Amino acid sequence: MLFWQDTLLLLLAALALDALIGDPDWIWRRLPHPVVWIGGFIRVLERALNRKSHSHRWRRGAGVLTLLLLLVVSLAIGLGLQIAAEHLAYGEVLIVLPAAILVAQRSLHGHVAAVRDALSRDGLPAGRRAVSMIVGRDPEKLDEAGVSRAAIESAAENLSDGVVAPVFWFALLGLPGLIAYKAVNTADSMIGHKTAELHDFGWAAARFDDLINLPASRLTGLLIALVAPIVGGSPVAALKTVYRDARKHRSPNAGWPEAAMAGALGIALAGPRAYADYVVRDPFMNPKGRKEATAQDINRALIVLRWVYKAQFLLVLGVFLLTAPIVLF
């Protein structure tokens, strides 16, 4: 049985491994990524249970059943790997490697950096192509400021649900918690959209994803505020922006890291955004901030990401040291 200190130590190893090697493309060109397996399972359930001929109530119930099945399977896989790790020589690899794969520190940085590089080196058309890989809005309607803001908003939101939340749930529940979190988060991205076809079926996944992201989104906002001075920002200004503007976001979670990033960088984020089929007319967060964001602002956001990664590592290390006095002394 893994003790909490063991879990934290394995988490530190996973964070270090992800920072060093990330998700090598040559592996995933040959093998399906674990998220692809999760997505395939969700798609099978959706095709089997989400029938247009069924009533709204039945489809919502089918969505609840899908969520429960997803949780049971993901928790069972995580628990099975954890039990196997405890009985095998060097079994820690069965925990550290999946954790490193599912915590997206290096890959998030790489995707956002690609937008910065394309925009600054090759101009607006290249920036639009790069940002279309990480956001769903219509890239052809984005100017340089729009591309830059989209990349920064994606960096802030995915910092929460792609990095801080997986770390939080691994620290709390070990590998089963991490895999279950990634399963729910993937389900939200696939079936949580409010389309006519998925409105009822995806309701449970979307609401549960909101719930399990509550702690990490708040923590992410605090971490961004903490490192704001690194990019010339103010922790107080970042926290004031969060307090004033986070609730303006249509998501109960995304507003926290995005508002903190807006305050830390001194720019305005969110606001009206055009997607392929509709326009979102949200208010700006940090509306008095500079709206003409540039590739240099994307670079400043990347600096924030790197320092939040460091702060998060030190936070986990600090908790480990404080809770493991017998191990140390």
pLDDT tops 50 at residue 18: yes
pTM, full prediction = 0.93
- Which of 179, 175, 158 lies closest to 258 in space, CA to CA? 158
pLDDT in tens, 201-246: 999 999 999 999 999 999 999 999 999 999 999 999 999 999 999 9
Quick one: tokens of 219?
Answer: 């923590």
| 274-285 pLDDT tens trace | 666 666 778 899
The answer to whether the CB of 233 falls within 8 A of the CB of 263 is yes
- Reply yes or no on whether the pLDDT at 194 is more than 90: no
Among 6-15, 92-101, 229-238, 278-287, which stretch is predicted with the lowest mean pLDDT?
Answer: 278-287
In angstroms, the first-to-last Cα distance of the chain is: 22
Q: pLDDT averaged over the chain?
A: 91
Q: 82 to each of 33, 34, 199, how far by Cα in Å? A: 19, 16, 36
pLDDT value, residue 328: 46
**How does pLDDT run across 244-259, given as a tens digit for each residue?**
999 988 889 999 999 9
Question: Is the pLDDT score of 41 beyond 50?
Answer: yes
Residue percentage of the chain with pLDDT more than 90: 71
Residue 329: per-residue pLDDT: 46
Beta strands in the chain (DSSP E): 269-274, 279-285
Burial class (CB in 10 A: 0-12, 13-18, 19+), 38: buried
pLDDT digit string (tens) for 136-149?
A: 777 888 889 999 99
Which of 284, 294, 273, 293 lies closest to 137, judged by CA? 273
* pLDDT reading at 33 higher than 50: yes
User: Residue 69 above 80 pLDDT?
Assistant: yes
pLDDT at 326 over 60: no
Q: What is the pLDDT of residue 129?
A: 94
pLDDT in tens, 161-186: 999 999 999 999 999 999 999 999 99
